[in-house]
Amino acid sequence: MPATTCEKCHGEDPHEEDLSTNMTTCDQCHFKKQTATFIGDMPMHKKKGPHADIHYEKGLTCIDCHNAEELHGDGNVYTSQLEAVTTKCEDCHNSPGKTVKDMSVTQYSPDIDAHKTHGDKLDCTACHSGWALTCNNCHLDTRKGTQPVSDEFYLGVVADGKTKPFIKMEAICDDTSHRGYGEWFSHTQ
């Protein structure tokens, strides 16, 4: 459910609250109700994933990477959340001298054999995702039985020609199984 007022995320006085260290603000929607895995949980916190994202483990929060337009919108309606997000790994990891929260950011190196071999063909997340979510056996007619797992990993080629992680969704409706795949940023680097 989208936030309809400032208070939904910012509390009683939006101009006073510091969101820079408050993960529970984003957690209200993005972790408990959806399938983001930044903190290492599976959907609805039913079970733990293999590990949290390295950025979370280093003490970073959503706003350390995502800008105000990504959080509040830029006035455009997108068909996918992936279109609305402009943050890229390269924003920090291909910016020599970059620091975040007084930490030096590890920089991309073109001298690594895998980087030389794959060049521009792979998105960073194709190799640098620690695990990905797969949703199995979602009974759409009863809304029961979904089994999120983390031991499957899928890659696919997206519209820009790069290979990226994909999520597999398997659903059952009226005793018929359906399977679909979609581009997915797992937040599990």
Mean pLDDT per block of 10 residues along the chain (189 residues) reads 62 60 57 61 71 91 83 81 84 94 94 89 91 75 71 89 89 83 85
The answer to the question of residue 79 being in a domain is yes
The answer to the question of residue 66 being in a domain is yes
The answer to the question of residue 1 being in a domain is no
Q: How many domains does the chain have?
A: 1
Distance CA 111, CA 85 (A): 29
The answer to the question of residue 30 being in a domain is yes
The answer to the question of residue 52 being in a domain is yes
Q: How far, in Å, are 17, 36, 136, 146 from residue 44 at the CA level?
A: 26, 10, 15, 11
Domain carrying residue 177? 7-183
- The confidence score (pLDDT) of residue 55 equals 92
Mention every residue, 6+ apart, whose C-beta is less than 8 A from residue 25: 9, 10, 19
Global confidence as pTM: 0.75
The answer to the question of residue 188 being in a domain is no
The answer to the question of residue 189 being in a domain is no
